[in-house]
A and B are shown apart, each in its own frame.
Chain A
Amino acid sequence: MKLSSKLILFITGSKLAIVLLFIISLPFLVDGIVSEYTNYSLRRQQDKVISIVNKKGINYYLQGDDSFGSYTMLKEEYIALEPDSQNLYIDTIKVAQRLVETDTLTYKILIHTFKYKDKNYLLEIGKTVSSINQYNKSLQRIALYVLMGLIALTIIIDLVFTRVLIRPLGKIIESKLVNRKFPFKGQSVPVKTSTQDFKYLDESLINLMDQINIDFEKEREFTANASHELMTPISILQNKMENLLADDQVTEDVAMSIVGMMKTLDRLKKISSSLLFISRIENDQFVKLASVKPADLLEDIKEEIRHRLEDKSLTLTIDVTDKVTLKNVNHDLLFQLFYNLINNAIKYNVEQGSVALTDAFNKQGNYTIVIKDTGIGIAPEDIDFIFDRFRKTNLSENVGYGLGLSIVKSIAVYHNIDIKVASVVKKGSTFTITFPKNMLV
């Protein structure tokens, strides 16, 4: 999962959790607030009554009567004041039913006793529970709307900010990791960012890539120089042996050992020239301007390689369309690529086996050629290394010098051709060579 998706998920998730918690607790919260407020307003009224009584005397209310009572039109609130015979001190707020005129209603009642001129009075101030609770629902709704609005607003702000914040990371990944293929050609452009961490990451990646390039360049240079320097001594030895072999005084035994030496030298020569060949490919010393028909190329290879089929009575079938032409390729390199692969398919095949070449277009519209043999196959633990230099997995007789597939790989990399290998031991191997769409004419 991408970092930005994770952040978005986390931000949205955490906010939703808060909203949920709030929705669950909202009724209790509102009830609590309303009840607090009611208590407060009842107390205020009580204070008011007491202060009036203190100022203007109890008769302001009683006006000579025994008791005083008053209620609003809909009996939502009432007030009652009467002398209290019991000498008890009561000061409480409770919910209870009262009969007002003909209606029995549930009130929240403040009951308070006080002394005035050595007489006890009982004050009751009540408010119907239904009138107290009438604002709860709408209060809850408004609170919810405001909250949701705020949450939505913060989520949007968070997402925008996160995107802006993370954008340099995406650019670093895109420009340094996804769209770069080894060897990294061209200068890396630093990604603009004010975030210190991203800057550090970007710089480190650029330095790392530069270092890899330098080392790779050194290795390539060394390989080219070393193989090149070997050519002259090999030349001398080869020509000396050729002259020696032509000498009339050389006996049969000596001649045979000269041939043996020539064989060894030939091996050395092939290794050096293959290494030189690979380094030339890697140094872009081949022009990619030719257009090649794979069907024709494969027929040429078949002609060139035909004699090798007879040894084990192999059959080589080529079922490739002649309608496809590949452009911007190097003919000789492409020839070498297929030659080496087909040669291997023959070399590691079994008596009366077969090598079949077919082609297809895959879902992405790329062109693929498949080379399928009935050979000895490649063990799963070896399959990742077959393109490495000097790696010989099949140590049977007739092994090559271990560079054939390395050459294939460098040609493929140079042309941006993809090669996939699937293999079953003792059943055979399948090489799938994929040419990118833009190589097709």
Chain B
Amino acid sequence: MKVLIVEDEKTLAYEMETFLKKAFYLCDLAHTVAQGLEKIEINSYDFILLDLGLPDGDGLTLLPKAKKHNPEAAYIILTARGNLEDRITGLDLGADDYLAKPFSLLELQSRMQAIARRKFNVKEEALPLGEFSIDLQKRFVYYKEQQIELSRKEFDVLSYLFLHKNRVLTRMQLSEHIWGTFADDDYDSNYIDAHIKNIRKKLNIWAPTEWLETVRGVGYRIKK
């Protein structure tokens, strides 16, 4: 998948690039509205990540023009402004999602995957997870044909770890994903342990879960 990152803060753009490259995305960078338009006119992208406060104009003005050249692309607005009007205008202009800075790169990737599933009609079968399989669209975990009951939050934890497999996720990253703005300091990361414990308990009835690792002092990881 090809991604265009339109972001004037160069360090930030490079960090996003580094992260997305690791997840096997091809990335182009643009730091101004003009550069962005130029790239969009030449290339075709699957994702366009758009910062709003650019040095030569508002990212929102870029959006309709870009859509003309590249209507199939998914547009995600990234902004530190975070006010409601921007969000509404962005979504009205046809943006697919909206992320307020500062955001976690993990969150960005999981949003991109969700859009990909929805927008590009990527029909995913249930994916293998050890001796289990996980259906991210239907939000079910199976052991062979047997459906395993997980609570909403437990599934959120498991699927987030699954989306970023082979990567250690900290308790904080997990709790921010689950509780969003309501996450309360250190306090909530303790509950991640409780959720992991429950997930293990529910799955261990059917098969071992050694693929769900605890990384001491850091967090959890699904290893494959």
* A interface list, Cβ under 8 A from B: 228, 231-232, 234-236, 238-240, 242-243, 245-246, 252, 255-256, 259, 262-263, 266-267, 269-270, 273, 276, 280, 285-287, 304, 307-308, 310-311, 339, 343, 347, 398, 400-401
Q: How far is the CA of A105 from the CA of B124 in the complex (A)?
A: 138
Report Cα–Cα, A239/B99, bound state, in Å: 14
Minimum Cβ distance to chain A for residue B58 (Å): 15
Whether the pair B184, A343 counts as a contact (CB closer than 8 A) is: yes
Interface-side segment among B28-36, B39-47, B81-89, B127-135: B81-89
Q: A236-B12, A243-B18 are in contact. Are A259 and B170 (CB under 8 A)?
A: yes
Contact B9 A232 (CB under 8 A): yes
Task: Give CA–CA (A269, B191) in the complex, Å.
Answer: 21
Q: Quick one: which of B42-73 are within 8 Å of A by CB?
A: none
9 A-B residue pairs with Cβ-Cβ distance under 8 Å, sorted by A, are A238-B102, A255-B218, A259-B218, A269-B102, A280-B83, A307-B191, A311-B190, A343-B184, A400-B185
Among B9, B104, B218, the residue within 8 A (CB) of A242 is: B104
Verify B219–A259 contact, CB threshold 8 A: yes
Residues of A within 8 A of B176 (CB): 266
Contact assessment for A236 and B11 in the assembled complex, using a CB-CB cutoff below 8 Å:
yes
> Counting CB contacts under 8 A, is B24 at the interface?
no
Shortest beta-carbon distance, B180 to chain A, in Å? 10
Counting chain B residues whose Cβ lies within 8 A of the other chain, the interface size class is 35 or more
A234 CA to B18 CA, complexed, in Å: 17
CB distance A398 to B172 under 8 Å? no
Q: Specify which chain B residues have a CB less than 8 angstroms from the CB of A240 in the assembled complex.
A: 11, 15
Residues of A close to B80: CB separation below 8 A:
228, 231-232, 235
**B103: which A residues are within 8 A, CB to CB?**
235
- In the bound complex, do residue A263 and residue B186 qualify as a contact, i.e. CB atoms below 8 Å apart? yes
Given the complex, which residues of B lie within 8 Å of A238, measured CB to CB?
102, 104
- Is A401 touching B185 in the complex (CB atoms < 8 A)? yes
What are the residues of chain A within 8 A of B215 when measuring CB–CB? 255
Residue of B nearest to A286 (CB): B84
| Interface pairs A-B: 4 shortest CB-CB | A231-B80, A235-B102, A239-B15, A256-B217
Residue of B nearest to A238 (CB): B102
Check B9 against A236 for contact (C-beta < 8 Å). yes
A235 to B99, CA, bound (A): 12
List of B residues within 8 angstroms of A245 by Cβ: 168, 170, 218
Q: How far is the CB of B79 from chain A (nearest CB, A)?
A: 9
- Chain A residue numbers with a CB within 8 Å of B190 are 311
User: How far does the Cβ of B213 sit from chain A's closest Cβ, in whole Å?
Assistant: 13
Q: With A238-B104, A243-B18 known to touch, is A398 a contact of B186 (CB < 8 Å)?
A: yes
Bound complex: CA A255 to CA B216 (Å): 10
Docked Cα-Cα span, A240 to B81, in Å, equals: 21
State in angstroms the CA–CA spacing of A276 and B82 once bound together: 9
- State how many angstroms separate the Cβ of A119 from the closest Cβ of chain B: 125
Q: Considering only CB atoms, which chain B residue lies closest to A229 in the complex?
A: B80
Interface string of B121-152 (1 = CB under 8 A from A): 00000000000000000000000000000000
User: Are the C-beta atoms of A228 and B84 separated by less than 8 Å?
Assistant: no
Output the least CB separation between B85 and chain A (Å).
Answer: 8
Q: Which of B22, B170, B172, B215 has the most CB of A within 10 A?
A: B170
In the assembled complex, how far is the CB of residue A108 from the closest CB belonging to chain B, in whole angstroms?
Answer: 102
> Taking CB as reference atom, which chain B residue is nearest A256?
B217
Query: Measured between alpha carbons, how far is A367 from B84 in the docked complex, in Å?
Result: 30
Known: A232-B9, A239-B105, A267-B185. 12 other contacts (CB 8 A): A231-B102, A236-B9, A236-B12, A255-B218, A256-B218, A259-B170, A273-B82, A286-B84, A307-B191, A307-B194, A311-B190, A339-B182
Q: How far is the CA of A436 from the CA of B18 in the complex (A)?
A: 53
Distance from B92 Cβ to chain A, minimum over Cβ atoms (Å): 15
Closest to A307 in B: B191
With CB as the reference atom, state the residue of chain A lying closest to B152.
Answer: A303
CB-nearest residue of chain B relative to A228? B80
- A147 to chain B: closest CB distance in Å? 74
Question: Complex Cα distance A267/B184, Å?
Answer: 9
B120 at the interface (CB under 8 A from A): no
Complex CA gap A256/B153 in Å reads 26
From A255, A263, A270, give the contact of B168 (CB < 8 A). Answer: A255
Contact of B106 with A by CB under 8 A: yes
Query: What's the minimum C-beta distance from A309 to chain B, rounded to whole angstroms?
Result: 11
Contact for B101 among A235, A243, A263, CB less than 8 A: A235
Which residue of B has the minimal Cβ distance to A234?
A: B102
A400 to B83, Cβ gap below 8 A?
A: no
Q: Let me know if A242 and B185 touch, CB within 8 A.
A: no
| B182 and A231 form a contact (CB under 8 A) | no
Q: Does B77 contact A (CB under 8 A)?
A: no
